[in-house]
Structure 1
């Protein structure tokens, strides 16, 4: 049989595939035939092949392939009828390089228990080189893609059809502070528990996987770096062989963007509100000017009309009646001007507290003097009950507190019929070493207010309708100003009123207590100080104003020196004997030399009375900065024109009394 095989192999045409026929013994190999095709594969002669193929496997097979080759040879020996196919590298003596072979072993066991094997070997070196090149390209592409994924700032991830993570790039892992993708692989978003609301992401991933839809910038929130952040995610299906096998997605953090949008939205709202406030303020300003214009023209019309009637009458009684009406209308006009200026100061934001140290039990003396005079003119009984002496000295803005109470008391007198009563009460609710909480009560037995009016009584120009019918006139600004000033002082105001029976206003304000050493305590003012024969220098450029002040003073037995400007006032002061002028009333705006400069120059004089003589501003300049400028120039007080005689005389009594005591001390 073996002889027949050899004869048959000898006739095999060289065109056949590379074939090796051999007989394998337990420990030896006998080559029976080498085809010409095999010689061409190895580019060796039959003799060279015969010599090389019988060498040990370790000498001719590539070291990396030896184990695999021996394994397949062992299989072919144990089960010769089962074909074995494998690839490997081989280099025979005479060859410079290894060649890749794809060999198939077919076998048959002979009666003598040897194995007859047919081995076909194809040269696949070029295919292997091409495969290796392709693998290298693939590895390069994979490395490049991995580099791109890891360097991009966009967080990327990919999932299977069950929404389980298959991987993610570095930006994704860094965002969630994960050391590697092993933390997330095989898990869903629900397993990770990082979303505040799972439904938005779960629903859009369902559409991607089951319907092949792509989603774009779906908003959601997730936990990152210890805080809930805003993100938008975009996702698309992963398709292989026409089937959706998962999804790929990306997301970006838009927390700062949303915060900026929210800030922009709030800013737009604020701008819109500011615009509305500006428009409202503009409308209020227009309405305010309209109301002020109307309310100014009303008393002005009365003054001019009645003045014309007074000029034409010879009846003394009629003349007195007309003059009284002129005074009433003028007083109303003065109140309106003062209130308008006060509102202007409040609205400009320039209003601030001007604190001074005063004795609590005496801080309202000028106010009381003014109201008592008004009450007497109207024949209204004015009652005062102040129990504040226990506080001693306090730090307070006396002018603003007086303004609040003045507005309340003026209304009380105005709206109380003849023979009625008005009360001003003051008590200490609580006190300690630092401060005292005081309550001031202004009560009247007047016409009262309706329940409908009380909620809007602090609004500008609001007046009880019934007042007009009863002939009671007012500006409608006093209560608004009182409320604003009290708010500035940190106080509160409440009201209780019964129409037809009267009104009670309650003001509560906290006053800081001041410990003034006994030697520094201010002298108490003697309200009944004798002003007879006291000499006052009046510096006033307006002839009519100068005449009015001079007349008031002379009617109360004071001696008056007049000057038409500041320079003349200084001259008059220097020409007078020392201490003979006991007070100076100084207008502010005057030609040649204004009152501020004149006061400063008088204080700078070397004569001893120049530093002590009371200088009182008497000016139409009514703003707080005007008062501050007066005091900075060296003046002791500031009165606003038109000044009430009682206020003027009270102020002179206070300062001349203090001046006299300083001379005596």
Structure 2
């Protein structure tokens, strides 16, 4: 220490003693170091502050005690003769403390840097407080600033700097940059407020800032003027800024929600009100005033007790207590109108919860007096005529003015599959009569029954659709008669009869008669008009072909013979069809060779396919047995019919016949499938269901162009089914067709 303190004359020893006392007992940390950082002196306070003995640090570089980030900052710092820094110093146990250190440079007589004296103070607690304050400001989105007007010094918090996206200087007052952040519509007003604050006092204002991304944020600002005590002039301005954008949006949403609730409350056609836990009114709407005849002032404050019909009070009080205990429920009550009349009410009570605690009861009430009186009249009518209603075969139901069910007689309940009690009070159109006969839905309130309720005119309808509770429907004839009371329509009564069976029987009878007539007429024409001349034509043509003929004559005779054979085939189809319908067609069971079967079909149509330029392909897939049991002639007949049709209706492309196993068929596992596909004209989707019907033609134009009786596919279907299989078709108009039929790979018992 003596080398740091120059020798002093005898009369100065007391000052040296005083200096030693200050250095040794100072609470702040005092150090003396060389310009290169070697510690020459450290005060004893280092032991209590950092845990080191002074001797441990003498001769060591003091940079080893600083936080690495602060070392880099100090090494690049240009020292003034006196300077103040904040840095982190390592405690002996390894943790860091924040120090605010004042450094003073001691120079030699010629001005060279000699020693650096440092006085450091532990400001860790202050730094922690500042960090907590900054975090609190960040969470609350509150920034602060301090402007020393006289000295020109300015500082703002991290949150304010972030709020303005770094566009304002944290350590220098820049009003131009500040006002550039403001919305153009707020600048003049805020400038005026700032000028007023510079004259003294407190100012508070909201303004908008525009972010660099174009977003507008709402800021709430406060400014407090600090005056100099001697002159009364403004010494400094202290201020806070808070981003209240989200808060203002929430306030607007809350205000809108409150307005919606108020509208729902005030203008609700039902009576809406609330009670405290003692049963006193705390709010009510105009509908309740109108319903009870009392004004708001007459009802509030006051209990509901005096409004309840005395015999009904215990039950009403019990229902209120349930809601006050947190149980929502509905019930009916009788109350007194101001004029003394009785009102029947339907009441719903709901507990009001605040912080999971019931603080009141919310209620909604509707006047059901007229409805109950009307229902009682209907019930009385129902009781008086119960025997009649139960004994008739027709269904009868009654509806009120709004179309809600009132009564339903037992026969009607059986027809609808509905209990009378479940029918009452429900809109009848939703459950019984919501569609017309064509399936179109009635608009709400537009059915014939509603029309009768509106105008009082009776109506009748035939073959309308009524619905059962299980979702099924039936056809009904019904009559609607209005119910009037004193000239005023109160509802309607509907009497109906289920006519589904009658309609179905009539339609089936008409269909059978038409089909039988068509069949009889067709067979009569074919057998009588065609068979006799056909025999003569074929016989004479055969004789003609045995005579000498020219080439042209022979060609003509061949055409006649071919036409005769076609006609014979038609007659054979008719005979086959007749045998099938009569159950007189016998099937054979014999070994069938698939390859020979398909070859015989190919030979029959090869010439015709070549003439049209159509590829005829026959394929037998893997897994098909070499032989299987069946009626080869009938299988060939089906294939010939399908292939003949395919070639007939195909003008370009191909016809393919495939034989494959069909293990996934639901009938049996040993099934074979025959597929005949073509690239012809195809079949419209809406005509596919007519393919296998007897004497059915898809279109007159197709019949005229290609010919046919409409029996071929019907015979195919019957033959396939007799052989234990089934036939189906898939097609797309203009893109060809696929016919597929399946057969057992062995004869069934019926074939044998």
The TM-score, its normalising length taken from structure 1, stands at 0.33
Which structure would you say has the larger Rg?
Answer: 1
Structure ranking higher in helix proportion: 1
Q: Which has the higher contact order (CA 8 A, sep 6+)?
A: 1
